[in-house]
Copies of this chain bind each other. A is one copy, B any other.
């Protein structure tokens, strides 16, 4: 079974890890393409930081800081502490020493002329992704940066809004700088076209999956692929499990409910991207309401407590679109 996952950071990475565990349990060889949001990427002190790509790489490579969900295990912050002594800005952004090595290697390769896809493949080699049957792709090789319209002044970088302000400054909207000139990275559209199932994991529907869907060509590829497209709700009982998705949804006028997010994604054939939608038991009403409108839905315990629990969620998602 060929699978393509359109993923943000922590939620998508944990889901994909569960999906791989499921395939391993079943004795099925994995053939998984993960398309990562790169809208959170930024230049910081001259190095290129790609938060979602790195979270995916560390999580699937067994190097992630498990409790935190992102960054490296056994991380230190010698460099960033010393940077702060120079009074250099963005002190609020954690730049771990081990994480920095990833950024420096990537930056060197980008400056040597490699594309982000090529640099990502080189970085992934260290973490054994290919050996697990996983191909990690950025959504685009062109820089796309999500900026947040906060009303006053210029829009600020998403990471500044998200990490520095903890999304506490009301967002009026999001601008993907560079999106119009971006194209899907090599292999992205092909992986959607050739997949048996495309999965929208429980990632942020606005600034993670939403940004991927906004890359020219990706929505069209989803519309015409023979693959089934199934999503897992990132909202449980009216609140995001993690992160500040509610603030992002509010900015685009979508309620933070499992049903509203499903309707925001929309159904294939009706201008949307989904064939099926998995919600939490807490949102059984949402599943029922969607089912009345003809959606393939189900409710289950969708809290990704650990890898086995997540493997079971992945199994439920796949069973929704099993043919």
Contact = CB atoms under 8 A, between A and B. Distances in A.
Q: How many copies does the complex hold?
A: 2
A227 interface: no
Nearest to A104: B45
Contacts of A44: 108
B100 A79 contact: yes
A102 B110 CA distance: 22
A86 B126 contact: yes
A108 B46 contact: yes
14 contacts: A45-B104, A45-B107, A45-B108, A46-B104, A46-B107, A46-B111, A79-B100, A82-B97, A82-B101, A86-B101, A86-B105, A88-B104, A88-B108, A100-B100
Interface in A83-108: 83, 85-88, 97-98, 100-102, 104-105, 107-108
A179 B110 CA distance: 27
B86 A122 contact: yes
Contacts of A81: 101
Contact of A82 (B83, B85, B98, B108): B98
Nearest to A107: B46
Contacts of A45: 47, 104-105, 107-108
Contacts of A48: 46
Contacts of A80: 101
A85 B167 CA distance: 36
A123 interface: yes
B97 A83 contact: no
A76 interface: yes
A297 B76 CA distance: 53
Interface in A171-222: none
Q: Nearest 9 CB-CB pairs, A to B?
A: A46-B107, A82-B101, A45-B104, A78-B97, A86-B105, A45-B108, A83-B101, A88-B105, A82-B98
A110 B46 CA distance: 9
Nearest to A84: B101
Given A45-B104, A104-B45, A111-B43, A123 B79 contact: no
A122 B97 CA distance: 23
Given A78-B78, A78-B98, 15 more contacts: A44-B108, A45-B107, A47-B47, A47-B104, A78-B97, A78-B101, A79-B98, A79-B100, A82-B97, A82-B98, A82-B102, A83-B101, A85-B101, A86-B101, A86-B126
A302 to B, nearest CB: 35
A233 B21 CA distance: 68
Given A78-B78, A97-B78, A104 B83 contact: yes
